[in-house]
Amino acid sequence: MSELGADIRRETLISNADPEDFLALLKPRVMSLVVFTALVGLVLAPGSIHPVMGAIAILAIAVGAGASGALNMWYDADIDAVMKRTVNRPIPAGRVSREEAFGFGLLLSFLSVMVLGLTTNWVAAGLLAFTIFFYVVIYTMWLKRSTAQNIVIGGAAGALPPVVGWAAVTGSVTLEPVILFAIIFLWTPPHFWALALVKSDDYGRAGIPMLPNVAGEKATRLQILLYTLILLPFGLAPFSMGFGGWFYGAVALLGSCAMLLWALRIFLARTEDGLRRACWRMFGGSIAYLFALFAALLVEWCAGRLAPALSAMRGALS
Amino acid sequence: MNSPAEGKGDGIRLTEEEKARQAKRNRAIALAIAGLCLLFYVITVFKMGSAILNRPL
């Protein structure tokens, strides 16, 4: 065999991947947000689930999210290779082949849906399968490269985990998880457009039609402000609907003020440097905002569970 | 001409680094399969609940 032929054969047949590279395909940071929001959906749902089964359900949802991340990297390997932010991902860096990522993502998708279905119910499993399908096919393969509204519609995939968590307990979907869905769904545009404003060169080089590249910087600033304004009442909705208490209400109100301030700073920024700083603040701050809302719901749930146990303990001691 | 790592007629010969990576991947796959077996065992036990004791002795 020629030297070139042998090299090609070696590259095709011999994997250079470490197990850590396959873990990186799962986008662990995105996974952690998915785990957290799904957990909140699961614990807030009326009814009960055995803690072990609940933990397995969360694991299945996390693996499902990771699988869609791997399939996203499989399909987007070409654009990942030209963007600074993604050039070190396992496929463009040459550590994992596209075929390996595809097989890995497909296998984990199947396993996660099966495990969730067997552990809880098939409504939750169906929702998880739909989430993976929506993220991979609708967002990654279709919207991402074809419309500036890519992350608006695609955000639905990232917003579904609390609904899946809720359905894992109840086997159905009611208004409460839809509100949680709406919060993440409406949070996505200001969060990602803030990043897109500072990374527009990167997205432009990769040919992704992000809003700043298509509609311009001014329109994006306005859209960030508008989506933030629409988001805020939804952030407060759990309090007004009664499944978020006073603590949640206070956190949501403070968070809403901060989000509005960050969006206004982006909208009113006059210098290039000021805009960059405002965008980074919105990007990081919006993660903290979303985390705080869901954490507040979780804290209230824990407090609600602990209070009777503590008073019973106090009664037994006195 | 064959590449240094490729023997005549006996396929691709792995370098030491490739062998180490392969061993690491194999260990990870073994762990994942063991974990999956344990997971299905746990799901079965919790799904059956007390019915797990209901069997002819």
pLDDT digits (tens, 9 = 90+) for A94-152: 999 999 999 999 999 999 999 999 999 999 999 999 999 999 999 999 999 999 999 99
Comparing alpha-carbon positions, the chain A residue that sits nearest to B14 is A14
Token pair recorded at residue A4: 């070139």
By Cβ distance, the residue of B6, B14, B24 closest to A19 is: B24
User: Is some CB atom of chain A closer than 8 A to the CB atom of B38?
Assistant: no
Establish if B28 belongs to a structural domain: yes
| pLDDT given for residue B8 in this prediction | 55
| CB contacts < 8 A (A, B) | 49
Nearest chain A Cα distance for residue B53, angstroms:
19
Query: At B31, is the secondary structure helix, strand, or coil?
Result: helix
| pLDDT given for residue A315 in this prediction | 84
Comparing alpha-carbon positions, the chain B residue that sits nearest to A9 is B12
Establish if B4 belongs to a structural domain: no
Residue A8, Cβ neighbours under 10 Å: how many? 12
User: Is some CB atom of chain A closer than 8 A to the CB atom of B13?
Assistant: no
Establish if B22 belongs to a structural domain: yes
Establish if B1 belongs to a structural domain: no
Q: Which domains does chain A have, with CATH numbers?
A: 15-172 (1.10.357.140), 174-304 (1.20.120)
Nearest chain A Cα distance for residue B51, angstroms:
16
Please give the tally of structural domains in chain B: 1
Q: Do B46 and A50 touch (CB under 8 A)?
A: yes
Q: How many Å is the Cα radius of gyration of chain B?
A: 22
Establish if B24 belongs to a structural domain: yes
Domain that holds residue B39: 16-50
The gap between the terminal CA atoms of chain B, to the nearest Å, is 69
Return left, alpha or beta for A226; rule: phi > 0 is left, psi -120 to 50 is alpha, else beta: alpha
Q: Do A10 and B36 touch (CB under 8 A)?
A: no
Establish if B23 belongs to a structural domain: yes
Establish if B27 belongs to a structural domain: yes
* pLDDT digit string (tens) for chain A, length 318 residues: 566 666 666 666 778 889 999 999 999 998 999 999 999 999 999 988 999 999 999 999 999 999 999 999 999 999 999 998 899 999 999 999 999 999 999 999 999 999 999 999 999 999 999 999 999 999 999 999 999 999 999 999 999 999 999 999 999 999 999 999 999 999 999 999 999 999 888 888 888 899 999 999 999 999 999 999 999 999 999 999 999 999 999 999 999 999 999 999 999 999 999 999 999 999 999 999 999 999 999 999 999 988 888 888 888 887
Nearest chain B Cα distance for residue A56, angstroms:
8
Residues of B in contact with A14 (CB under 8 A): 12, 14, 18
Residues of A in contact with B27 (CB under 8 A): 19
By Cβ distance, the residue of B12, B39, B42 closest to A14 is: B12
Residue A170, Cβ neighbours under 10 Å: how many? 20
By Cβ distance, the residue of B24, B39, B46 closest to A18 is: B24
ipTM > 0.95 (yes/no): no
Q: Do B1 and A15 touch (CB under 8 A)?
A: no
Establish if B3 belongs to a structural domain: no
Residues of A in contact with B20 (CB under 8 A): none
Question: Any idea what DSSP says for residue B13?
Answer: P
Q: Do residues A160 and A226 touch, judged by C-beta distance below 8 A?
A: no
Q: Do B3 and A14 touch (CB under 8 A)?
A: no
Which contacts (CB < 8 Å, 24+ apart) does range B27-33 have?
B27/A19, B28/A19, B28/A22
Q: Do A10 and B25 touch (CB under 8 A)?
A: no
Q: Do residues A209 and A147 touch, judged by C-beta distance below 8 A?
A: yes
Distance CA A235, CA A258 (A): 12
Question: Any idea what DSSP says for residue B15?
Answer: P
pLDDT digits (tens, 9 = 90+) for B1-31: 445 555 455 678 888 888 999 999 999 999 9
By Cβ distance, the residue of B1, B12, B21 closest to A16 is: B21
| pLDDT given for residue A10 in this prediction | 67
